[in-house]
Amino acid sequence: MTTDRESVTRLLREWNSGSKSALDELMPVVYDQLHRLAAKCMAGERADHTLRATALVNEAYLRLVNAEVEWQDRVHFFALAARMLRRILVDHAKANHRGKRGGGAEKIELDEAVMIGPLVGTGIIELDLALERLAEQDPRKSEIIELLCFGGLTYDETAEALKISPATVHRELKMAKAFLHRELIERSS
């Protein structure tokens, strides 16, 4: 595991320096992790969802490859990947919502580790709007939810990405979950 972490960071830095071969080497190293993240994001979606985990990871990877970013390390890469996965799901949900049959809200559940309570009928669009409202009040709390839920980062990796302690991640996560729970329940009633 440490070897993979170090190799991702090394390959990202080489890619930043202009090495095209580093990008070719990077794909197989990060693909499985990206696919796990995409599958995790898709697990809460309805069974007949038209977007599949493989399509989601491929779209995210294309956006990551084409992003003009000065990659810092593995955590930075997967933090941005979390944002990309969220954006793709939200864009897809919005496109379906505008569809000829009305689309309807898609259900997505937060990762069990940060579950905020029953969110029956809550869709990705509602969750995204609630995260945006949270970001307006406290961007770091929104980022914590995004990194943990969409990015699949650990508490330690989230703390590293945000340059805070794991204890702060834990404390702010509790407050963020309470905020989202209140927002989603109030908006659904």
Task: State residue 148's pLDDT score.
Answer: 86
**pLDDT surpasses 80 at 6:** yes
| Cα dihedral 174→180→185→186 (10° resolution) | 120
- pLDDT-derived band at 108 (thresholds 50, 70, 90) equals very low
Task: State residue 74's pLDDT score.
Answer: 85
**pLDDT surpasses 60 at 101:** no
Task: State residue 106's pLDDT score.
Answer: 44
Task: State residue 115's pLDDT score.
Answer: 44
* Amino acid at position 91, single letter: D
Tens of pLDDT, residues 127-182: 888 989 999 999 999 999 988 887 778 899 899 888 999 999 999 999 999 999 89
- Give the lowest-confidence range in 3-7, 46-50, 111-115, 170-174: 111-115
Task: State residue 151's pLDDT score.
Answer: 77
How far is Cα 89 from Cα 20, in angstroms, rounded to an integer? 29
Share in percent of the chain as helix, strand, coil (round to 5): 70, 0, 25
Identify the top-confidence range among 119-123, 124-128, 135-139: 135-139
Cβ atoms 153, 161 nearer than 8 A: yes
Tens of pLDDT, residues 16-75: 898 889 988 988 888 888 888 777 777 666 666 667 778 888 888 888 888 888 888 888
Task: Please give the backbone phi and psi of residue 144, each rounded to the nearest 5 degrees, phi first.
Answer: -60, -50
